[in-house]
């Protein structure tokens, strides 16, 4: 995908929802997740009211919102996960807990930056910010 990009300040900070966010200095693509595709599939499948297809596409709808996602793998290892939707912080955390225990990096596509888990919770789930880790 190719997008135009507004010029960024020298530190790369952008404004998101009224908060100044400095992109993570961690490099994306730190390798595959510690779990394989099949294990991520099984963990997600155990969530109530989650529907998942054999190709790894899924939708999870509860009273707390909806998450649509796709699992992507290479050589049996989970490579990355695409998530979108609107949900509570608790629901989002539960979804993430199914995927990995390792440190995660989130790409905010609309803003063209990568941020850590704490920043995602601070921006989008302030009521759960302290529980992000």
Torsion (CA) 78, 84, 88, 89 in degrees, nearest 10: 50
CA angle 80, 89, 99 (to 5 degrees): 25
Helix (H) / strand (E) containing 39: helix 37-45
Paired sense of beta strands 14-16 and 77-87, if any: unpaired
SS3 (DSSP) at 81: strand
What number of helices (H) and strands (E) belong to the chain?
3, 8
12-31 residue pLDDT tens:
677 777 777 776 666 555 67
33-91 residue pLDDT tens:
888 999 999 999 999 999 999 999 999 999 999 999 999 998 888 888 999 999 999 99
pLDDT of residue 2: 31
Q: Which two tokens mark 127?
A: 């009521």
Between CA 109 and CA 113 the distance in angstroms is 7
Between CA 130 and CA 127 the distance in angstroms is 8
pLDDT of residue 111: 82
Q: What is the pTM of this model?
A: 0.79
């Amino acid at each position: 995908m190719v997008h135009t990009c507004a010029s960024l300040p020298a530190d790369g900070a952008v404004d998101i929802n009224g908060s100044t966010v400095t992109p993570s200095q961690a490099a994306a693509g730190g390798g595959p997740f510690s779990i394989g595709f099949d294990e991520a599939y099984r963990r997600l499948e155990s969530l109530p009211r989650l529907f998942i297809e054999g190709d790894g596409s899924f939708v999870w709808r509860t009273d707390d919102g909806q998450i649509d996602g796709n699992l992507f793998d290479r050589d049996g290892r989970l490579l990355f996960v695409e998530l979108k939707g609107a949900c509570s912080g608790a629901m989002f955390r539960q979804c993430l807990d199914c995927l990995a225990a390792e440190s995660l990096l989130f790409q905010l596509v609309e803003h063209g930056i990568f941020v850590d888990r704490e920043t995602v919770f601070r921006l989008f789930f302030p009521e759960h910010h302290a529980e992000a880790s």
